[in-house]
Structure 1
Amino acid sequence: MPIIFGALIGHVEIGLIVALGGLFINPPNDNEPLKVEVLNYVQVIFTGFIAISLGASIGNNHSLLASIFLVFINGFVSLVGGINRTLAVNSVRFTIFFIIGTGISLPTQVNPFIIGLLFSLGSIWAAFISLFFSISYLFFMKQKKSSQSLSNNDSNADFPTQFRYWLFRLKKFQTWFYTIRLVLCLSIAQVIQLLSENPHAYWISLTIVLVLQRNTSSGPSRIYQRAVGTFFGVLIGGIVLIFPLSILWIIVIVALIGGVRSYLKVRNYAVYSMVMTPLLFILLSRGKQISFDLIIDRLMYTFVGCTITLVFGYYIWTGVEKQK
């Protein structure tokens, strides 16, 4: 619907940015009470607005200072994410949204906060649709959601207590472990981007934040799945987008991929990565025809991002993790 609206007003790129915001709203979880899902959607909307705006503000003017800011702000957010589970989830969201924001190419006269607002409008639209169908289903089926959910609950302690405990844990290396790994990987990615002077090199950083996990034990398998899935996704996306597409075909492709992505995410991460890549291609490229060189860049930068994460995000730390 956002893409159709953008086409009707003669600005398809606006519709694609709004659609990008809806990409990160997942259907309600049957094991979560409705108020928890609403709060989760609010967090996505707010985090997306701030992170996309900041990312878009440095995307067109990438410099050494911008790279330092990118690494510092994402490192700081990842460290604060250690306070509790809610902040940990939102710190990962922030980092992903921030890097995506740097990849949105803007006309120089567009305010980055407008881009953040459009992204948030897409999240609001998708959240409204998800909640509407969820509530309608519960009403007609006369079922109630369970109020018990153990997987995403925070500690029973209040936030001031959690914050004081976090300050105490800052004395331990383990509290800084994820932040150090993230900062190291992003720093290497930013050096490569500055040296290459290629605006598409932001895909290295995006690959890193998508596959780097706080838990090192689950990381390598995710990297391999991401690499395989992205490789085939780039090929599929390249075949699709190397030809000029009408707005109708763009809508059909986005609708089909968007409809199955949430189911694939929990069933097969490699296939999920494969279908998400063409979708990000279309939305970040604003629906325009892409070149063969861009396809090669995406494949190369995905490989570089996975390699950096595997070596500097996991392998060199295996001894530290075993000692823990």
Structure 2
Amino acid sequence: MKILDMIIAVLAIIIPLVFGYFIDYAQLGVVAGLAGLMLSQDHFRTSLKEQFDQSFSTALASGIAFIAGLRLTGHFYLSLFAIPVIIFTITTLGRFSRKWMRASVLFSIFLVIGYGSGSTGKIAFVTAVTFILGIIWVQLLLLIMHPVYMGYLKRKKVLWKEEPKRSISNKQLWLHWKKGLKSLKGWQFQLRLTLCIVIAQIIRYFISEHHTYWILLTITIVIQYNLEHSTERIVGRSMGTLIGVCISMILAFLKGPAELYFSILVFLTILRSFFSKKNYFLYSLASTPLIMALLGFGKPMTDAIFTDRIFTTCLGCIISFIFGYYIWKKYILKPSAEVKK
């Protein structure tokens, strides 16, 4: 139901931004808007209980990740070690189920966003509270809109018959998780992501004066779980990330009215929702610029920052392609695929 998805996405992202802008705390609006951006694509469940369970688990994972990232802010050397370890552990646990995997990916992204916020002391506390409020806001929207979705399903039931859901017990998931860890393929996502993160951390150690957390953010956005479909996705996300940086920089330099900025964000939000299940390439080209434009909202812009973000974003894309896709597809996982044939 595309119209409902678009309405939820716009309300989840734009309302916090507008509120933050009018109380003269734009960055707090950005923090809450980021929660809306990443979580407004949650799928509806057929029962209110399932919807509530999903909302609670998503909110819990996202909130913990963001706060953990905030706690690492200001601890550069600790973050060099802690971020790869946390991401590897979380994504390994995430293989337990699809719901856990999605939560682990969101956890990794929000961990990096929290770390890159640069908030410490009392500001960190306010930032954390704002982010949690943003999570609650988008989950409330999903719960409020749930009856509308159910009404839509009831009207459509005359057109198709729903297939019965296959029940999978936690024991079966546990056995599948353990079995998967006995093969390299079962480790490939967490190893690919962590390898890229480790390389990024090494680079950050030597060029720490730059905005190097953008390298980490680019990697967590670009690297995907399914290696088989990574070619289109990594190109789409890489191009989207670069375009997104350029859009956010242009908007910051133009210094146009806030209404224009909000209108562009609404347009990108609608495009993102429209293409979410139709065309992954176009979805990425709309989604990533939206993330980058949000992160640049309300911040002063200089030529140095523009150059820095382009550089670190390109670096993140290159690392993701070489160490998160190419060497695995070409050299590491290819032999096992040939043996299987």
TM range (shorter): 0.7 to 0.9
Alpha-carbon distance between aligned partners in 2 of 1:235 and 1:4, rounded to the nearest angstrom: 23
Q: Does 1:224 align with 2:238?
A: no
Q: What is the CA-CA distance between 1:68 and the residue it aligns to?
A: 0.8
The aligned counterpart of 2:144 is: 132
Q: What is the CA-CA distance between 1:232 and the residue it aligns to?
A: 2.5
Q: Does 1:276 align with 2:290?
A: no
Q: Does 1:285 align with 2:299?
A: no
State the AA in 2 paired with 1:166.
Answer: W
Match of 1:192 among 178, 203, 208: 203
State the AA in 1 paired with 2:127.
Answer: I
- Residue deviations 1:161-201 (CA, integer Å, cap 9, x gap): 43255345434333222222221110001111121113521
Q: Does 1:3 align with 2:14?
A: no
Q: What is the CA-CA distance between 1:58 and the residue it aligns to?
A: 1.6
Further displaced range: 12-21 or 29-38: 29-38
Is the partner of 1:288 in helix, strand or coil? coil
State the AA in 1 paired with 2:252.
Answer: L
Task: Name the CA shift for 1:60/1:168 in 2 (closer, same or farther; >3 Å).
Answer: same
The aligned counterpart of 1:119 is: 131
Q: Is the 1:5–1:15 contact (alpha carbons within 8 Å) kept by the matching residues of 2? A: yes
Q: Is the 2:223–2:324 contact (alpha carbons within 8 Å) kept by the matching residues of 1? A: yes
The aligned counterpart of 1:202 is: 213
| Structural mapping, 1:100-249, within 5 Å | 100-112=113-125, 114-136=126-148, 138-139=150-151, 143=155, 148=162, 156-198=167-209, 200-249=211-260
Match of 2:104 among 69, 85, 91: 91
Q: Percent identity?
A: 29
The aligned counterpart of 1:55 is: 69
Further displaced range: 261-270 or 98-107: 261-270
TM-score (norm. length: structure 2): 0.81
Q: Is the 2:252–2:300 contact (alpha carbons within 8 Å) kept by the matching residues of 1? A: yes
Q: Is the 1:282–1:288 contact (alpha carbons within 8 Å) kept by the matching residues of 2? A: no
Q: Is the 1:59–1:103 contact (alpha carbons within 8 Å) kept by the matching residues of 2? A: yes
Q: Does 1:22 align with 2:36?
A: yes
Further displaced range: 306-315 or 237-246: 237-246
TM-score (norm. length: structure 1): 0.85
State the AA in 2 paired with 1:84.
Answer: S
Task: Name the CA shift for 1:198/1:278 in 2 (closer, same or farther; >3 Å).
Answer: farther
State the AA in 2 paired with 1:119.
Answer: F
Q: Is the 1:23–1:123 contact (alpha carbons within 8 Å) kept by the matching residues of 2? A: no
- Residue deviations 1:201-258 (CA, integer Å, cap 9, x gap): 1121122122222221111221111222222232222211113344444433333333
| Structural mapping, 1:293-312, within 5 Å | 293-312=304-323
Is the partner of 1:188 in helix, strand or coil? helix
Alpha-carbon distance between aligned partners in 2 of 1:236 and 1:195, rounded to the nearest angstrom: 28
Alpha-carbon distance between aligned partners in 2 of 1:284 and 1:231, rounded to the nearest angstrom: 14
Unaligned residue ranges in structure 2 (runs of 5+): 1-14
State the AA in 1 paired with 2:131.
Answer: F
Q: Is the 1:31–1:149 contact (alpha carbons within 8 Å) kept by the matching residues of 2? A: no
